[in-house]
Homo-oligomer: A and B are copies of this chain.
Amino acid sequence: MSSSPITLEELSKHATKESCWIVVHGKTYDVTDFLDEHPGGSKIILRYAGKDATEAYSEVHPPNIVTEHLTPAQQLGPITLPASTSSSSLAAAPAPPAELSPEQLDRLVLLSRRPPIDNILSLHDFEAVATEMLSRSAYAYYASAADDEITMRENHLAYARVFFRPRILIDVSTVDFSTTILGQPSSLPIYITATALGKLGHPDGELNLTRGAGKHGVIQMIPTLASCSFDEMIDAALEGQTQFLQLYVNKDREKTKSIVQHAEKRGIKGLFITVDAPQLGRREKDMRQKFDDTTDGSAVQTKGGDKVEKNQGAARAISSFIDPGLSWKDLDFFKSITNMPIVLKGVQCWEDAVLAAEAGVAGVVLSNHGGRQLDGSRSGLEVLVEVVRELKARKLFPNPKFEIYIDGGVRRATDVIKAVALGATAVGIGRPFIYAYSSYGQEGVEHACQILKDEFTMNMRLIGARTIKEIVPAMVDASALSHHSASVPSDRLFEANYASLEPTRLRAKL
C-alpha cells in the first residue's frame, strides 16, 4: 500500500475511465481496474472521478468494503488539503449550520413537517410519509420491483383473497403471540428480513433496525448488501438479541466461507442463503430514475460504445459477487463450514420445498424477493398452501426440524395471522420497516413493532386464538387464493399506452 500523501491537484488529473482515482474517508484509491467490476456500474463511480466520493459512498457501502475489493497497490495515500480549501465535501468536520446544503435544508423542512408519530396508525402510513421524505433515487431503489411490478403487488393482494372464519365465546382475556424461530424466542411470529442499501433512507441505515428490533424482541436478518458493516450491526445489538444472516454466495467460496464463519463466531443464529437471485433483477422504476439522474446535465453521456461495455460490466460485476452456478450440491459445503441452521430463501414451488426438506436444511423462505426478481412469480402466501399440502402428503410436515417462512406484501397483523394459519412459522417484513426508519429513525421501527403488537392483541382476540398454536387452518378460507383470473394486478405500462376507444360525438358548435 502506497501511503504517500496525494494532493488535490494530482487527484484531479485522474478523472477519466483510463485513470480513475477517488477519495473515500480521506484516503485516495485507484479504481480504474475496478470500474467494470462495480455492481452498481461504472458510471456512478466516474461521476466522482478525481473527486471526493465519501458522501455517495457512505450512503450505500459499509466503511471497510472499499479496502476489501482493492489490492494494496490500488490503495493510495491520504489526500492532503491546502489550508484554504473551500471544498466542503472534502472537509472532515460537518459544515456549520449556517452553511447547510440545499439538500440538508430540504431534509430539515421535511422532518419538521412529519406528522406526530402517534398519528401513524398502520404500516401503510409509514410508507405514505416515507414516499415524501425519501430522495427520488432512494424511493426508486426501495419501491421498485421487476418488470411490470405485477408480482410485487400480487404479494400484497393475495392476502385480501384469504378470508377469516373467526371463533366466538372463547375466553381471550389474555393472548400470547410469542413464538420461536429456528429455536430462538421471538415476541411475534415475524422477523425483519434482509434489504440492501439501508443508508439511502436514513444516515444510521440498518442500525435503526438492529436497535428497534432489540427493544421489541424481534429478530433482524442482517443483509449481505447492507450499508452498515456486519460488525456494526452485531455491536449494536443488545445482550442476547437474536440476529440471522442473509447470504449471497460468492463464486469465490473462500470469501463465502470466511463470511459465514465470522458470522457464526459473532453469534448469528441462522444462515439464510438466497437462492432466487442468480442474477439481480431488472427494476425499471429504479433504472428510469438513474437515467433521469444521468441525463440531467451529466457529462458522462452514454455512447454506442458505452452501451456494450455497460452490459458486459454488469454481467462481469455480478459474476464476481453472486454465483449463478450455485446448486443443490453446494449444500454439503455449507454444512461442512458451519453449525448454524441453514435456511433456503427464495423457494417458489413445492418440488423445491420437498427437495429442501429431504436435503436436511432447517427451513425454507417461500419468497419471490419482494417481487424484485422474476415478475410473474406467485405470492409466498399462495405457494405456502401448495407446499404445506405436498409436504403433508409426504409426511414431511409438520416437522419440528423444518420450518416454513414466507415474506412479501405484509402490511397488517391479520396478514401474518393468515400466513400462520396456513402453516408458516413466521413472516418476514422488509419494506415497511425501511419506510418506518426512513420516516422516524429507530423510533419508527419501534412504533412499527408496537402497531403490530396492538393489531395482534386485537385480532387474535377477534379470531378466538389465545396462542400462536391456536391459529389453525380452519380459521381461514383460502379457497380463492390461487384464482388468478380476477386478482391479477393491472398492467400499468400497457394501460398507459392503450388509447381508449371513444364513440363519435356531436361536432363543436359552429
Chain A contacts to B: CB under 8 angstroms = 109-110, 112-116, 118-122, 124-125, 127-129, 131-133, 139, 143, 147-150, 153, 156-157, 160-173, 275-276, 278-279, 281-282, 284-285, 287-288, 291, 295, 301-302, 307, 311, 319, 323-328, 330, 344, 346-349, 351-352, 355, 373-378, 411-412, 414, 418, 454-455, 457-459, 461-463, 474, 477, 479-480, 482-489, 491-494, 496-510
Contacts and interface: CB of A to CB of B under 8 A. Distances in A.
A491 B376 contact: no
B163 A302 contact: no
A244 B399 CA distance: 51
Contacts of A163: 376-378, 484
A326 B457 CA distance: 16
A479 to B, nearest CB: 7
26 contacts: A109-B509, A112-B510, A113-B509, A114-B507, A115-B291, A119-B288, A122-B284, A148-B412, A153-B494, A157-B488, A165-B348, A166-B348, A168-B276, A168-B346, A168-B348, A169-B330, A169-B352, A171-B325, A171-B327, A172-B278, A279-B457, A279-B458, A288-B504, A378-B477, A486-B488, A497-B503
A410 to B, nearest CB: 11
A414 B373 CA distance: 12
A279 B175 CA distance: 12
A122 B147 contact: yes
Contacts of A323: 173
Number of identical monomers bound together in the oligomeric complex: 4
Contacts of A499: 131, 139, 143, 285
Given A173-B324, A492-B501, A494-B411, A275 B168 contact: yes
Sorted nearest first, the 7 A-B pairs with minimum C-beta distance are A486-B486, A483-B485, A128-B503, A480-B484, A124-B493, A374-B462, A168-B275
A278 to B, nearest CB: 5
Given A124-B493, A131-B497, A284-B501, A173 B325 contact: yes
B165 A349 contact: yes
Given A147-B412, A157-B488, A165 B378 contact: yes
Nearest to A505: B128
A491 to B, nearest CB: 6
Contact of A507 (B113, B131, B170, B351): B113
Contacts of A287: 121
Given A488-B161, A488-B487, A506-B132, A501 B153 contact: no
A160 B326 CA distance: 29
Contacts of A501: 148-149, 284-285, 492-493, 496
A66 B276 CA distance: 58
A452 to B, nearest CB: 12
A433 B114 CA distance: 39
Nearest to A443: B304
Contact of A455 (B128, B282, B346): B282
